Amino acid sequence: MSESTSFSRGLYFEEFEIGQKIVTVGRTITESDVYGFAGLTGDYNQIHTDAEYAKDSLVGERVAHGLLVLSIAMGLAVRTGFVEGTVLLFREITSWKFVKTVLFGDTVHVEMEVVNVKALRRVGGGSITIDVDVLNQNDEVVMKGTWVALISSKPA
């Protein structure tokens, strides 16, 4: 199965195949990202926002919010265009694991593989299940899990 990095338009349900792989570009996690996320969510936990406090933590420095990195991973995935104009709904995260901390300055990218497709005529398309790995600049998995989305069928 081939590997893709960008699409000129979203794929319709019928164009997804088990084993299909999609890889995103990278994005560096900045201090500004972390503080913006803290402001948006109200999560000003010291492990994210207090350098002196974080020096004595398990990691020894500030770390990015796990949910920030998950959100960035989703953004990177969407940025490829693979569901542009064809996604009906993002349905669920069936599993998710935070494997390794993400530090300020780490660069992450996403590698996805389609593992299931299921036609759902009542929604005008089908369900795709994608295994997702978020990797850092050293190609270490920092997060992994499974996403499910509903995708529209090709127009008649």
| Contact in structure between 62 and 48 (CB atoms under 8 Å) | yes
User: 112 - beta bridge partners?
Assistant: 22, 132
Q: What mean pLDDT, rounded, does the chain reach?
A: 95
Angle at 138 between CA 78 and CA 116, to 5 degrees: 40
| CA–CA gap between residue 58 and residue 103 (Å, rounded) | 13
Q: How many residues belong to the chain?
A: 156
Domain boundaries, given as residue ranges, for the chain: 3-152
Looking at the predicted structure, is the pLDDT value of residue 1 above 70?
A: no
pLDDT in tens, 89-99: 999 999 999 99
The pTM is what?
Answer: 0.92
Q: Identify the CATH assignment for 3-152 out of 3.40.50.300, 1.10.730.10, 3.40.1440.10, 3.10.129.10.
A: 3.10.129.10
Give me the phi and psi of 131, to 5 degrees please.
-80, 135
What does the DSSP 8-state code read for residue 26? P
Q: Is pLDDT above 60 for 5?
A: yes
- State the pLDDT at residue 82: 95
Question: Is the distance from CB of 82 to CB of 22 less than 8 angstroms?
Answer: yes
Instruction: Dump pLDDT digits (tens) for 97-151.
Output: 999 999 999 999 999 999 999 999 999 999 999 999 999 999 999 999 999 999 9
